[in-house]
Chains A and B, each alone.
Chain A
């Protein structure tokens, strides 16, 4: 597996100046190509992604088996709650 390595052409000084001037910056390309490909494959290949949902200040994590075990009505109720939460508040 490739080592995580930043792109050899990164212009840190230019990025630094831009960040200082505007408060945001994007470095592109950021990683060395092989490292970016490897990281992408790793992310694509994993099956332990979790869905993160908040309800007010509480945060819940739902893994795939939990999601898959939910009844359609539960999924609908959860979606409805998330949608209602997002309309006016932080979700």
Chain B
């Protein structure tokens, strides 16, 4: 059986910690053992019942499960995209992307034993949390939450800083698992200055870890209409509670 989760043993943790401390963000290439990256990619591309995460004006964000989406009329499904886009056009916080909410699925036993349940457990093992504490210099980190995300053409996440009082979010993480992604296809994780300029943008990659401190102003640029299906990631926060 293939490994589902293992860190690359050659990670240069002091260098990662230095970059994160200096810039508030860092991208780590070849983060996972190659076999683990392949395994998770297989799960996301073939074994995940994707639902939809969306937020629009006056709606704080919701998950619609895959079965529910499939039962809807096309015009009802399209409404999520229209409402999210309308909010984004007005400068409101909005998002639209395919999602598998790993914590909710785990706690509510949607698919007991699903590889994404096991992955959530792996993200909370001492090996991973020790890495997070060492990379961030935050010894108080105690847990990781996670969701699987797929940004398809037209999907986006508008500017925000991740800070939610009482949530204990200390470091955001994104394990990027987009194979052979081209910059023209969009979907970058952009760090945005107050004047709107992008300070740095991380292109979706295969087997890269993005880490950044919270709060930190960022967005996910809209995926181009001509991009293929493939911008997969596992994302969440390392928390102190």
Q: B-contacting residues of A (Cβ < 8 Å)?
A: 82-87, 91
Chain B contacts of A87 at CB under 8 A? 185, 226-228
Bound-state CA distance A86–B223 (Å) is 13
Q: A87-B185, A87-B226 provided; 11 other pairs, C-beta below 8 A?
A: A82-B226, A83-B225, A83-B226, A84-B226, A85-B226, A86-B184, A86-B224, A86-B226, A87-B227, A87-B228, A91-B226
Size bin of chain B's contact surface: under 10
What is the predominant secondary structure among interface residues of chain A facing chain B? helix
Q: Shortest Cβ distance from A86 into chain B, in angstroms?
A: 4
Interface string of B197-241 (1 = CB under 8 A from A): 000000000000000000000000000111110000000000000
Chain A contacts of B185 at CB under 8 A? 87
Bound-state CA distance A89–B160 (Å) is 33
Bound-state CA distance A84–B228 (Å) is 10
Bound-state CA distance A85–B226 (Å) is 8
Closest-by-CB residue of B relative to A26 is B197
Chain A contacts of B227 at CB under 8 A? 87
Closest 4 CB pairs of A and B: A86-B226, A83-B226, A87-B226, A83-B225
Chain B contacts of A82 at CB under 8 A? 226
Q: Shortest Cβ distance from B61 into chain A, in angstroms?
A: 29
13 contacts between A and B (CB under 8 A): A82-B226, A83-B225, A83-B226, A84-B226, A85-B226, A86-B184, A86-B224, A86-B226, A87-B185, A87-B226, A87-B227, A87-B228, A91-B226
